[in-house]
């Protein structure tokens, strides 16, 4: 029961403890956190911002600054697609350089021009390239690491007196246009930015610091990551419903930071199902395994997924793929998390792992049974333990489609 609660909670405090003992274990790795001396820090922000959720609606927010980082170094710090060949400890060590410069804000302050720290944070969020940034603190930043199931690891933090941008942000035209369009809904702004090849990381930054939508608010980073994945996914799902079905059964697979993905594409109307399997001795599971499931049909997702941000992060790459090939399909995803995933790196692991899997050459199959047999051969968990939760596979096997009646 304890292990199941940990997987559902992932550090959110559902157990009632003031601090998560699992996350505290990783926060104790102080030796890899960079030494920050004095009460100021200067470096090229990737650019990056962090908005906390503790104390909501009053939250801490501000820039993330890697001390003394140059532009080429800073670019890598906020580019998960470039981390695929790293080890978990390499990602933690790299990201521990990101110093969090915090100030207190109310979430409704998004449009206020009275707080210069907020205005400068919003200016930083606009940029697509690193910006030289300097922050001054009331006292030296606290040496600690921040880990989370949704957020990418971060390093020391401190309450800042002030910060300055040492150069002008490089702002894409579409970003500039939509930030000043206060009549556009947030979901429409997200859609337009994605069509203009603005990265999800950039869009999340804009959304989190209160620069998108009509009713603008400052949104904690952990919430904005999932919100952007969800809004982008819903827009793509609506788009692919007008496409013809895929013509064959395709199976993609791949592994990313100890997370193994099997992506089965079936010739049916759009639906999506994710099964998550946490093997024993992974970051959250303890001594026993855990299996969870969630799904949606043509009408979309109802309510928040019990699989949390991982559901929306897994769905988005699938919808990107279907949009690219201009087809719709029913998509079954099995994510098996192995003991190699020993520290929480954030929900980007799921998003990038799925994207990588979908770039691998797929297998094609004449029957569902053959595809599932092939899939099961790469999964450590016995098929009998997860197949009973796979609603989509059962529906595909036993439900007839309208075409089948015309082909009789």
pLDDT at 32: 45
For 277-282, what is the mean pLDDT?
Answer: 91
115-129, 221-235, 276-290 — which is least confidently predicted? 276-290
Residues 6 or more apart in contact with residue 164 via CB below 8 angstroms: 120, 133, 134, 135
pLDDT at 89: 85
Is the confidence at residue 407, as pLDDT, over 60? no
DSSP characters for 12-52? Answer: S-TT--SS-HHHHHHHT-GGGSPP--SSEEEEEE-S-EEE-
Three-state secondary-structure class, residue 150: coil
pLDDT at 30: 46
Is the confidence at residue 408, as pLDDT, over 60? no
Residues 6 or more apart in contact with residue 150 via CB below 8 angstroms: 10, 222, 225, 226, 308, 309, 346, 347
Q: What tens digit of pLDDT does each residue of 163-218 get?
A: 999 999 999 999 999 999 999 999 999 999 998 999 999 999 999 999 999 999 99
pLDDT at 16: 53
Closest CA to 349 of 200, 204, 152, 198: 152
The separation between CA 265 and the C-alpha centre of its own chain, rounded to angstroms, equals: 22
Banded pLDDT at 405 (limits 50, 70, 90): very low
Q: What tens digit of pLDDT does each residue of 327-362 get?
A: 999 999 999 999 999 888 999 999 999 999 999 999
Is the confidence at residue 313, as pLDDT, over 90? yes
Is the confidence at residue 42, as pLDDT, over 60? yes
Rounded Cα–Cα distance for residues 357 and 25 (Å) = 31
Q: What tens digit of pLDDT does each residue of 115-152 get?
A: 999 999 999 999 999 999 999 999 988 877 887 788 99
**Domain edges within the chain:** 2-168, 249-399
Beta bridge mates, 266? 330
Query: Of all residues in the chain, what percent carry a pLDDT higher than 90?
Result: 75
Is the confidence at residue 33, as pLDDT, over 50? no
Banded pLDDT at 72 (limits 50, 70, 90): confident
Is the confidence at residue 274, as pLDDT, over 50? yes
Q: Please report which helix (H) or strand (E) contains residue 194, including its range.
A: helix 186-195
Is the confidence at residue 18, as pLDDT, over 90? no
pLDDT at 37: 63
Is the confidence at residue 286, as pLDDT, over 70? yes
pLDDT at 123: 98
Q: What tens digit of pLDDT does each residue of 356-400 get?
A: 999 999 999 999 999 999 999 999 999 999 999 999 999 898 765
pLDDT at 25: 54
pLDDT at 38: 73
pLDDT at 13: 61
pLDDT at 406: 37
């Amino acid at each position: 029961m304890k292990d199941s609660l940990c997987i559902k909670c992932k550090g959110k405090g559902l157990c009632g403890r003031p601090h998560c003992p699992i996350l505290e274990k990783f926060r104790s790795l102080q030796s890899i956190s960079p030494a920050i001396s004095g009460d100021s820090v200067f470096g090229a922000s990737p650019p990056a911002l962090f908005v906390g959720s503790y104390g909501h609606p009053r939250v801490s927010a501000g820039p993330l600054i890697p001390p003394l980082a140059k532009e080429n170094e800073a670019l890598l710090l906020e580019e998960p697609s470039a981390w695929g060949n790293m080890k978990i400890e390499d990602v933690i060590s790299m990201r521990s350089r990101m110093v969090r410069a915090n100030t207190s804000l109310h979430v409704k302050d998004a449009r206020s021009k009275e707080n210069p720290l907020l205005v400068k944070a919003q200016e930083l969020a606009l940029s697509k390239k690193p910006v030289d940034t300097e922050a001054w603190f009331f006292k030296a930043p606290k040496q600690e690491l921040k880990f989370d199931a949704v957020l990418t690891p971060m390093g020391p933090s401190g309450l800042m007196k002030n910060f300055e941008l040492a150069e002008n942000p490089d702002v894409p035209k579409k970003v500039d246009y939509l930030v000043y369009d206060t009549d556009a809904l947030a979901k429409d702004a997200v859609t337009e930015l994605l069509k203009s090849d603005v990265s999800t990381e950039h869009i999340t930054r804009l959304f989190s610091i209160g620069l998108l939508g009509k009713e603008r608010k400052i949104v904690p980073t952990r919430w904005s990551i999932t919100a952007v994945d969800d809004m982008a996914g819903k827009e793509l799902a609506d788009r692919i419903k007008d496409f013809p079905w895929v013509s064959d059964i395709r199976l993609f697979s791949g592994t990313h930071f100890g997370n193994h993905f099997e992506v089965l594409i079936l010739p049916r109307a759009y639906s999506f199902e994710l099964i998550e399997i946490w093997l024993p001795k992974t970051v959250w599971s303890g001594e026993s395994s855990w299996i969870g499931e969630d799904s949606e049909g043509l009408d979309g997702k109802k309510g928040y997924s019990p699989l949390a941000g991982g559901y929306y992060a897994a769905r988005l790459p699938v919808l990107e793929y279907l949009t690219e090939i201009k087809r719709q399909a029913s998509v079954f995803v099995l994510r098996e998390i192995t003991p190699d995933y020993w520290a929480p790196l954030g929900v980007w692991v799921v998003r990038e792992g799925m994207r990588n899997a979908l770039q691998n050459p797929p297998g094609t199959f004449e029957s569902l049974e053959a595809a599932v047999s092939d899939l099961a051969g790469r999964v450590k968990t016995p098929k009998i333990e997860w197949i009973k939760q796979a609603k989509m596979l059962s529906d595909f096997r036993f439900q007839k489609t309208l075409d089948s009646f015309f082909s009789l």
